[in-house]
Amino acid sequence: MSATDDDKVLIIPCSGIGKAFGSVGREAMYMVAEELRPDKTETLCLSLLTLGDEEAKDRVRNHPVITIDGCGQACSELNVKGVGGRSEANFRVIDTYREHRELKVNSVLHLGEAGRKLARILAEQVASQVDAIKRKEDMLRG
Ligand code: SF4
């Protein structure tokens, strides 16, 4: 673990297994954490929270969190808030899709070009939110 790990924003997608929008959300998370903002973000497995893992609960309470949910059920956001996590922002794939209905995702396993484009649009929005959170933290630190 590097010295900067404690400053990272946690990006937590819903499990969304079997749902195309859940797959898009996970893809967007990987784009942010591995490609767009690797130095500022990392992820945490939502199922650890639902299983009551104490270390995972501590992490969401002590780091800013951005949740990504596939749909309005908002499983990730509710679970993070349910353990007192610092949920700074929530994104829903279905909202991104509503703004880009031309990008239809038909398969859970193979997002295809449309699914990857949808994930990319969402990932860019999440990355901007990461920057906003870091700016706010920097201002508060003076
Ligand atoms: S938010 Fe929607 S897609 Fe994600 S796990 Fe919950 S029900 Fe499934």
What is the DSSP-derived secondary structure letter of residue 42?
E
Exposure b/e, 38-56, CB count within 10 A at least 16 = b: eebbbbbebebbeeeeeeb
* Ligand 1 atom closest to Cα of residue 74: 1
Q: Please give the pLDDT value at position 63.
A: 97
Which residue out of 21, 23, 29, 94 has the highest number of ligand 1 atoms within 8 Å of its CB and is therefore the one to mutate?
21
Position 2 in a domain: no
Q: Which residue has a Cα nearest atom 8 of ligand 1? A: 16
Residue 35, domain extent: 8-141
Position 130 in a domain: yes
Position 25 in a domain: yes
Position 104 in a domain: yes
Q: Which residue has a Cα nearest atom 6 of ligand 1? A: 75
Count how many domains the chain has: 1
In whole angstroms, how far apart are CA 6 and each of 37, 115, 117? 15, 32, 31
Which residues have any ligand 1 atom within 6 Å of their CB? Answer: 14-16, 19, 21-22, 69-71, 73-75
Q: Please give the pLDDT value at position 2.
A: 40
Q: Which residue has a Cα nearest atom 5 of ligand 1? A: 16
Residues 20 and 51: beta-carbon distance below 8 Å: no
Q: What is the distance in angstroms between the CA of the first residue and the CA of the last residue of the chain?
A: 26
Tell me, what CATH number does 69's domain have? 3.40.50
Strands (E), the chain: 9-13, 41-43, 64-69, 86-92
Q: Please give the pLDDT value at position 1.
A: 42
Position 111 in a domain: yes
Q: Please give the pLDDT value at position 3.
A: 39
Position 59 in a domain: yes
Q: Which residue has a Cα nearest atom 2 of ligand 1? A: 71
pLDDT tens digits, the chain, 142 residues: what are they?
443 457 899 999 999 888 899 999 999 999 999 999 999 999 999 999 999 999 999 999 999 999 999 999 999 999 999 999 999 999 999 999 999 999 998 777 788 999 999 999 999 999 999 999 999 998 988 7
